[in-house]
């Protein structure tokens, strides 16, 4: 047996459980409003534009993912669908509560997204299906969020197992695929485009070659896959064969960039309002930098009109800071200079944003001989502002962000931020 074969044989001892929150945004709304149980619920994107989350009842009405709300307005009204604006503060906090609950089931966990996590169940001497059902019951009891659990010897198979758990009444929320010998019938029913890591373009190429199901891909010739799809394709085939190629990532990789952008609640034609918007984005980006212990050496600012108008305008500018920074004052100052060069009179701007890049750890910032800023004082000020904002419902804001901000994103149907605002706690009768 070659070295590669020994590695994959060893990897087969891994057992992954993918825990996925069901219709997460809609479930968060239901957790604090029991009257919504059994009723169709949808959640809208920024500015209440498109549908980004649907309950099972809403899906049954034929309401598609990502469709503009106005296109299905009649369906929403005729079926008494409950419609909510996105409530990001609530969703982020509920996600943290779910992940904290999951961490009690194993010391090895990877938070994969806001509503998904991989758990390592290797070495657990119990029925994995029963353990999965215990996870479902506990998360539901402690957070109010329903979850499904897919279990497999690889992340890819755990993903497939979770898909079955979500759609099969027989599975009852949990599916265990650790028995490799019983996989063939299951994989034959999985379209190749539904496999984790297989994108649309890859799926098209595979289907042209006659590979239409997960079973077809599992049995594909490795050398041909390597030639056509490289190492990612090879890993997918091995994963379908039960050989783990993707370990848990318990220490997330350092971010390569941080972006903050929003579509405006109404078109903006004023340079002052554009400046207020990007100043607010810089404030949020600065908070994100400091949360991750990072500083940015480059910042790109962009503005755009609607893409649907005839004379669309899009432009961007990038500046380099003399010293990598997480100081919001410096970020705002640089962004305002960029807006002076980007603004064009007569255009109605629909969106603006900033992207921070060339990120470095804050304890590895390269000093500049000609830098006159008091970096230690700046750091203390940012820490003080962050500490105050973490404790207040009405956080400190920079004057450059403006006061009235008529351009801000619309959330006309947003529910209360039950878990992060004292003044929005649910009342008890």
Q: Residues 98-129: pLDDT tens digits?
A: 999 999 999 899 999 999 999 999 888 889 99
Instruction: Taking residues 352-369, report their average pLDDT.
Output: 89
Q: Residue 80: pLDDT above 60?
A: yes
Return the number of other C-beta atoms located less than 10 Å from residue 126's C-beta. Answer: 9
Return the number of other C-beta atoms located less than 10 Å from residue 374's C-beta. Answer: 10
29-86 under CATH 3.40.1170.60, yes or no: yes
Answer yes or no: are the C-beta atoms of 322 and 371 closer than 8 Å.
Answer: yes
Q: Which pair of tokens denotes residue 133? A: 């059902």
Find the angle CA(211)-CA(217)-CA(221) to the nearest 5 degrees.
95
pTM, two decimals, is: 0.80
pLDDT at res. 393 = 63
Answer yes or no: are the C-beta atoms of 339 and 274 closer than 8 Å.
Answer: yes
Q: Residue 2: pLDDT above 70?
A: no
Q: Residue 376: pLDDT above 60?
A: yes
Q: Residues 154-191: pLDDT tens digits?
A: 999 999 999 999 998 888 899 999 987 778 899 999 99
pLDDT at res. 428 = 73
d(CA 13, CA 317): 51
Q: Residues 219-231: pLDDT tens digits?
A: 999 999 999 999 9
Q: Which pair of tokens denotes residue 308? A: 């649907």
d(CA 266, CA 351): 10
Crossing angle of helices 88-102 and 24-31, rounded to 10° = 90
Answer yes or no: are the C-beta atoms of 299 and 321 closer than 8 Å.
Answer: yes
d(CA 357, CA 349): 24
Q: Find, among 150, 139, 148, 146, the residue nearest to 101 by Cα.
A: 139
May I ask the CATH architecture of the domain 257-401?
Answer: 2-Layer Sandwich (3.30)
Calculated CA dihedral for residues 180, 186, 188, 193, nearest 10 degrees: -100
Q: Which pair of tokens denotes residue 348? A: 């109605």
The domain spans of the chain are 3-21+91-240, 29-86, 257-401
Residues in the chain: 429
pLDDT at res. 340 = 94
Find the angle CA(343)-CA(344)-CA(349) to the nearest 5 degrees.
75
What are residue 175's DSSP bridge partners? 150
Residue 105: CA count within 13 A, CB half-sphere:
30
d(CA 334, CA 332): 5
Query: Phi, psi at residue 334, to the nearest 5°?
Result: -65, -40
CATH code of the region 3-21+91-240: 3.30.70.270
Confidence of residue 262 (pLDDT cuts 50, 70, 90): confident
Q: Which whole-number Å values give the CA distances from 309 to 66, 182, 270, 303, in the listed order? A: 21, 55, 19, 15
d(CA 136, CA 162): 12
Coil, strand, or helix at residue 63? coil
- Three-state SS string over 140-188 comes to HHHHCCCEEEEEECCHHHHHHHHHHHHHCCCCCCEEECCCHHHCHHHHH
């Amino acid at each position: 047996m070659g070295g590669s074969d020994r590695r994959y044989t060893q990897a087969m001892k891994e057992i992954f459980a993918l825990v996925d929150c069901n219709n997460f945004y809609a479930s968060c709304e239901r957790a604090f409003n029991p009257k919504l149980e059994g009723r169709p619920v949808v959640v809208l994107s920024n500015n209440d534009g498109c549908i980004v989350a649907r309950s099972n009842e809403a899906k049954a009405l034929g309401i598609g993912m990502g469709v503009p709300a106005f296109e299905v307005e009649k369906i929403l009204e005729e079926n008494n669908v409950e419609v909510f604006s996105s409530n990001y503060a609530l969703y982020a906090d509920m996600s943290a509560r779910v992940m904290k609950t999951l961490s009690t089931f194993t010391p090895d966990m990877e938070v994969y997204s806001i509503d998904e996590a991989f758990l390592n169940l290797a070495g657990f001497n119990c029925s994995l299906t029963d353990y999965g059902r215990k996870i479902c019951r506990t998360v539901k009891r402690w957070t109010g969020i329903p979850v499904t659990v897919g279990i497999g010897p690889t992340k890819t198979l755990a993903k497939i197992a979770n898909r079955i758990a979500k759609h099969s009444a027989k599975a009852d929320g949990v599916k265990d695929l650790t028995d490799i010998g019983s996989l063939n019938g299951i994989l034959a029913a999985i379209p190749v485009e539904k496999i984790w890591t297989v994108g649309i373009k890859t799926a098209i190429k595979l289907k042209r070659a006659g590979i239409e199901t997960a079973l077809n891909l599992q049995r594909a010739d490795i050398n041909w896959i390597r030639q056509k799809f490289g190492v990612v394709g090879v890993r997918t085939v091995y994963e379908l064969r039960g050989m783990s190629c993707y370990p848990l990532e318990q220490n997330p990789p350092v971010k390569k960039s941080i972006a903050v952008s929003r579509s405006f609640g109404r078109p903006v034609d004023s340079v002052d309002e554009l400046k207020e918007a990007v100043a607010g984005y810089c404030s949020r980006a600065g908070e994100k930098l400091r949360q991750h212990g990072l500083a940015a050496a480059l910042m790109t600012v962009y503005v755009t009109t609607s893409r649907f108008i005839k004379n669309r305008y899009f432009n961007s500018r990038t500046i380099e800071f003399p010293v990598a920074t997480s100081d919001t004052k410096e970020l705002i100052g640089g962004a305002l200079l960029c807006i002076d060069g980007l603004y064009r009179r007569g255009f109605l701007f629909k969106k603006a944003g900033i992207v921070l890049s060339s990120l470095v750890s804050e304890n590895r910032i390269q000093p500049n001989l000609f830098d006159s800023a008091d970096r230690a004082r700046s750091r203390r000020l940012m820490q003080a502002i962050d500490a105050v904002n973490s404790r207040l419902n009405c956080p400190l804001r920079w004057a450059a962000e403006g006061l009235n901000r008529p351009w801000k994103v619309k959330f006309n149907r947003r529910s209360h931020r039950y878990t992060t605002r004292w003044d929005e706690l649910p009342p008890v009768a």
